Structure 1
Amino acid sequence: MAHTPSPPIDFRWSAPKFCSRQRCCCPNSPHIPSVSGTVTHVGGGATTQNLTVSGTVAPKSGGGVTSLANWTFETSSPSSSGPYVPESGTQTATAEARCVHASSSTVYAANQGNGSGKSFWANTWAVGDYFEFRISTVGVSGIQLSFDQTSSGGGPRDFKISYSTNGGSSFSDLRTYAVPVSSGAAIVWYPDPVNSASSLSFDLSSFGALNNQPSLILRLVCASSTSLIGGSLSSSGSSRVDNVRVSASATDTTPPVISLNGANPETLVYGQNYTDPATATDNSGSVPTFSVSGRILNTVVGSYVLTYTATDGSGNMSTATRTVNVLLNASNSASSDSDGNGMSDLLEYSLGGSPVGNSLAILPSVVVFGDNLRITFQARTNDPNLTFQPVASESLSSSSWSASGVTKVSSTPLSGKEGFEIQIWETSIKNIPKKFLKVEITR
C-alpha cells in the first residue's frame, strides 16, 4: 500500500503477494466420511459424529452347536462304577462317565432307561456321592448340559452341579436342582416313549472357566440326605440318569476382516465430499461394533489418518488405517486459479475464500490510521503450515520489502467461522513520502 503525506492523500496498495514453499491447500467446514460406527475427532470441531454404514455384512458361515458327548448307556450298559464312553458325539474315544459312592455296598446297573432299555442306575446314596462326566472343551465354549434323571421314593432328591479343571483336585459349584417328581412321587420310565417330565437342561455358557479346558469334570453331586418324597435317604433308595449330553459352540478365534476398498492413501480435492468405502465382515455373520476414529476436514489441506476397529461377538478385534490427503486442487498447485477470478487458489484458501467460488470479498482492506498505514485481513488458523507476514517497502523494488517496522496490532477469532481470525497490522508513514504494504503467505 502507498501513502503520500500532503493533501490530497494518495495511498496505493499492491495485490497481496503469495508464495508457496509447500504445495497443497483447502477451507474449513468438516466433512465426515460415510462409514459405520462413531467417528471421534482428535481435534477441532465436534467431538463425535454418527456415521452411515457403507457396505454389507457377509452371511454366517460355519459354527453351530457341537455334541461333545452323548451317553445313552445302550452300548456301554453299566454294571460297575465305570468309566463308560459315550455312544455318540465328537469324543466317543476319550470322554468318560462314572458313578462314585462312598459305600462299598452300592449296586450299579443298566436298569430301565427313559424311552430306551438302559440307563446308569445306582442305589445306597449318601451326601457327596455323584455321577461324573469327563470331557475336553479345547476349542469350544458355551457349554450346555442336559440329562434325564429320576429317583426312587427313598432315593436322593437334592443335587448340585460341580466342576473341576485341575483333574479333580478341587471343585466349584455351578447350580443346584431337585430331581423331578410327578404328583409328589417318583417318575416312572418306560422303553417308549421318552418321559420329558424327567428332562433337565442347564445353560452353563456364562461360566467362562469351563471353556477351552483340556480336561473338564462335571459332577452331579448328592447335596442333602432328603429323599425324593421328603423323608430320609434309605439304603435301598436309588437314582438313575439317561440321555446325558454335553454340547458346546465352536470358539470363534477369527477376527473380523476390514476391507479398505479404494485407494490407500486416498486423495481428495479441496471441498470434495468423501464417502468411505471401508466395510467389515466376520465369519460369525455379524460385526457387533465397527468404529472409526480420526477426522477429515475437506476444507483444510493436509493428511488425515482414519483408524478402523471392528470387534465381533467373541471379542476378536482387528484394526486398519487409511490415509486421506486433502489437496488444494487437482494439480496440487498453489498458483492455480481454479475458478478463474484472478486470485490464486492459495490466496483464496488462506484468506477464507473458496478456490472454486468467487471470493473477491475476502481481499484485505487498507486504511490510513493516524500516522500509520493499516492492513486488515482474515487469516486461516487451522492449517499449521500457513504463515502470514505483512511486509513494507518505500520503493517496490524486490529487495526492499521488509517486515521491519510492521507490527501486529491485534488478532481476534472470527465469530461464526471456526479456524479463522481477523488480523490487523500497521506500519508508520510519518514523514514518509510513500509506502507500500503487502501480505506474504507461505505454505
Structure 2
Amino acid sequence: MTSFTGSAYSIGIADQGDQTAGSELRGYHALATTVWSSPSGNGSPYSFSSNGWSVGDYYEVRVSTSNYSDISLSWDQTRSSTGPSSFRVDVSTDGTNFTTLLASYTVMQAGASGTNTLSWSVTAGVQSAFTRVLSSIAGADNQSTLVIRFVNLSTVATAGTNRIDNIIVSGTLIPAPGAVALLAVAGLASRRRR
C-alpha cells in the first residue's frame, strides 16, 4: 500500500476502458495533513482511500464521454467506523459549474455488525452491498470532459477514513453518421428484394 500526505492527490488515469486517455481520479481535502493511500479494494487489489475529511472535501473523476450516449455511473464506497457516512454526487461538463446529481447517500461501514458484509479485500470478491448505480445522467452524453465529484457532507473525526473503488462510467457508442446511413440503405435494399 502506498501513501501520500497533502491536501490534494491524483491517483492517475483509468486502468481499463475505451476512454482512458485524459481520464483522472483525484481527491481534494482542506487539511494538508490528509493521508492518501491505496489499500485493498472491493474485490480488487487497490482502492482510493483518505482520512482528514472536512465537509466539502471530495473525490473527483474526470473522463471523456465523446461519442457515447446514455451515460451511467456506478461505484463502490465504504468507510471506517469514524469515517464520513454522508456524501452527494455533483457533475459538471466544464469543471467549474456543478449540478447536484444525487443530493445525499449513506456510505456503509465494511464489516460492521449488522451489515452482513465483510471488510474489503482482494480475495473476498465484489460485495454488491457497497455498489451504487446512477443511470441516464442528464447532459453527460458526448462530452469532451465530464467531471464527477463525490462530496462529503459529514463532520467526522480526523482519523476517520473513506474508500472508493470500481468507478465505472459507461454508455452506448453513438454510431458514425456514415454507419447509420449505410444501415438505412441496407434496410431499404432488403425491402426491395421481396
Whether the aligned pair in 2 keeps the contact of 1:150 and 1:187 (CA below 8 Å) is no
Residue in 2 that maps onto 1:402: none
Residue in 1 that maps onto 2:41: 113
Matched, 1:208 2:135: no
Helix, strand or coil: the match of 1:257? helix
Whether the aligned pair in 2 keeps the contact of 1:180 and 1:187 (CA below 8 Å) is no
More helix by share: 2
Residue in 1 that maps onto 2:160: 237
Q: 1:172 aligns with which of 99, 119, 122?
A: 99
Q: 1:140 aligns with which of 52, 62, 68?
A: 68
Letter matched to residue 100 of structure 2: D
* TM-fit CA distance, 1:170: 1.2
TM-score by length of 1: 0.37
Q: Provide the rounded CA distance (Å) in 1 between the counterparts of 2:169 and 2:127.
A: 18
Residue in 2 that maps onto 1:322: none
Whether the aligned pair in 1 keeps the contact of 2:89 and 2:150 (CA below 8 Å) is yes
Whether the aligned pair in 2 keeps the contact of 1:187 and 1:198 (CA below 8 Å) is no
Question: 1:186-201, aligned counterparts within 5 Å?
Answer: 188-201=119-132
Q: 1:104 aligns with which of 21, 28, 32?
A: 32
Whether the aligned pair in 2 keeps the contact of 1:78 and 1:84 (CA below 8 Å) is no
| Deviation digits for residues 232-270 of structure 1 (CA, Å, limit 9, x no counterpart) | x11111001122222211024525626666xxxxxxxxx
Whether the aligned pair in 2 keeps the contact of 1:78 and 1:120 (CA below 8 Å) is no
Letter matched to residue 139 of structure 2: A
Q: Provide the rounded CA distance (Å) in 2 between the counterparts of 1:278 and 1:129.
A: 62
Helix, strand or coil: the match of 1:142? strand
Change (3 A) 1:152 1:99: same
Whether the aligned pair in 2 keeps the contact of 1:79 and 1:110 (CA below 8 Å) is no
Question: 1:295-310, aligned counterparts within 5 Å?
Answer: none
Larger RCO: Structure 1 or Structure 2 (Cα < 8 Å, ≥ 6 residues apart)? Answer: 2
Cα RMSD after superposing both structures:
2.6
Whether the aligned pair in 2 keeps the contact of 1:91 and 1:135 (CA below 8 Å) is yes
Q: Provide the rounded CA distance (Å) in 2 between the counterparts of 1:121 and 1:185.
A: 22
Change (3 A) 1:107 1:208: same
Whether the aligned pair in 2 keeps the contact of 1:120 and 1:242 (CA below 8 Å) is yes
Letter matched to residue 163 of structure 2: R
* TM-fit CA distance, 1:223: 2.2
Residue in 2 that maps onto 1:248: 171
Whether the aligned pair in 2 keeps the contact of 1:149 and 1:198 (CA below 8 Å) is no
Whether the aligned pair in 2 keeps the contact of 1:150 and 1:186 (CA below 8 Å) is no
Helix, strand or coil: the match of 2:139? helix
Whether the aligned pair in 2 keeps the contact of 1:151 and 1:186 (CA below 8 Å) is no
Long gaps (5+) in structure 2: none
Question: 1:333-372, aligned counterparts within 5 Å?
Answer: none
Identical-pair percentage: 33
Q: 1:151 aligns with which of 61, 68, 79?
A: 79
Change (3 A) 1:220 1:240: same
Question: 1:286-297, aligned counterparts within 5 Å?
Answer: none
TM-score by length of 2: 0.80
Question: 1:67-78, aligned counterparts within 5 Å?
Answer: none
Change (3 A) 1:125 1:198: farther
Long gaps (5+) in structure 1: 1-73, 226-232, 262-276, 280-443
* TM-fit CA distance, 1:120: 0.8
Whether the aligned pair in 2 keeps the contact of 1:144 and 1:201 (CA below 8 Å) is no
Change (3 A) 1:187 1:128: farther
| Deviation digits for residues 148-175 of structure 1 (CA, Å, limit 9, x no counterpart) | 2110111111111111101x21110112
Question: 1:222-233, aligned counterparts within 5 Å?
Answer: 222-225=152-155, 233=156
| Deviation digits for residues 88-119 of structure 1 (CA, Å, limit 9, x no counterpart) | 11233321000111111111011222223321
Whether the aligned pair in 2 keeps the contact of 1:146 and 1:199 (CA below 8 Å) is no
Letter matched to residue 243 of structure 1: N
